[in-house]
Structure 1
């Protein structure tokens, strides 16, 4: 007998094709992970106020990066390691960059503020990312004290015979005469606001500035002035993230300015290695837009999915003949 075709088979085939297509598109257009160096530090403090700090820096990404800036809140030189500008930061899981600093603080009882800021740069085929991180060193304990040299031959102490001294009469003061000491108020420590994190990313068509402001930070207002075009203002409140983009053109530089920003040098757009013709680098015209992942891969995937969907549709329309006794 000849069985009529089922409408559910056609619906199932179309639904399967749609699910496969959406999954493939999502895979190709997935956003990039956040690039950042991963610094950490510990220090020990001796009784004379000398601190010895050990820094370590790792990588959040699966490709190598280059250290572009290193600074510390203490002025002593970095020694005993390879943490410096121009050093290669190995991919995630690789060898860490290390360095040591020593500094003597005038007040050994006060907790010192020791911070390290590291900036790194990643070069991928479709984008170039520069980002920095700041970390405070944590105290690991007291440094071993240096031994005090003892004299070679001790000097004998002469013995003096004391004459008997009359015992004085002790008079106990009355309760009204007992001095009363007022308690000294304890100063309240003020925690400084957390520092925001800035990222600069050069893609084939954009130069993007991003600021991540921690929840315990303060509002950041940054003015970004390009050498071509109008200036833009980026305002980011605590606990939020904001970004501003400029169209990529050849020779584009943008100068950032904000309260507390130490580095006000212009930042140039850098063209990634793999850009389609017409993307970025135009003399005076904005680059052609590029959204998501590489469009060539998406088009090829779409053609394959269309062919697969057509095949499933034809199979769903065929009538199957089955013979029964």
Structure 2
């Protein structure tokens, strides 16, 4: 594969969390995606609409060519406008977007638009965004304010990322993210803030999925799906940094790796033969997004890992083991540390018993 295409596959753009469009990445090439958002308004007591605006992704290399909408689907109502036209071409990011209007009954509390897009280089992506009814609903006298919110996420080789954001100060929704391996994060962000978390795949055989709940109700599930090249990369988060381990398996093939971030000019490139590996430590900081690109003779893949701080430990009345940090890889270090602690404790008990017996003999 021509390595000049690495930016075509690799630049994931800056998927800004503040955008109202929650893009769910569902293809192997995670960088290609549509930037889109929706604005909801009431038409009358029985009808409301969402105006969707869409462009190609931010930071897309100019040599890729314009993406286009192969197909779309809505959860309810009808979509009209340019977005509903077959093979609608996506404008460049920053240009005037193409639009579509989804019209729904007020019986529907949320509107979801799913766009299936493709690019001239063969890459495809499916993205979804969900917008709730306007604050307070469309009735003349709403009984109480309803939360207005948005949520979304995506997966890549090493992790599943989920986020949620509130838009109404009168009614804040609580977001809960629950992974299939038992990790749970919840919070109620203020307007202008958000809650997000990166769940790392700890067992490639078992896989990983993350449920998104809003006020205790399941609204979405993001399911991690493996790729053959996912065996070439693993990531560990120790709460202070992200450690990337790049390797070509013994039974693999020669591979080219590239890693870069959205916050610095640093860039790492490696050519690794089967059995070789390299490690990169990247300090964690707010807003950090790390992109990677892996290429072999047969295939190529790109992905984006977002650093999120570890959740604060919950104090308890009785001592309890410290939770294992999110990571991919072996738990051997924790096992060795636990064994060492037991040996030290046994030594202390033995020493105290010897002193007590000596005192009695005296």
Q: Same fold (TM over 0.5)?
A: no
Q: Tell me the TM-score normalised to structure 2 length.
A: 0.39
Q: Which has the higher contact order (CA 8 A, sep 6+)?
A: 1
Q: Which has the higher strand share?
A: 2
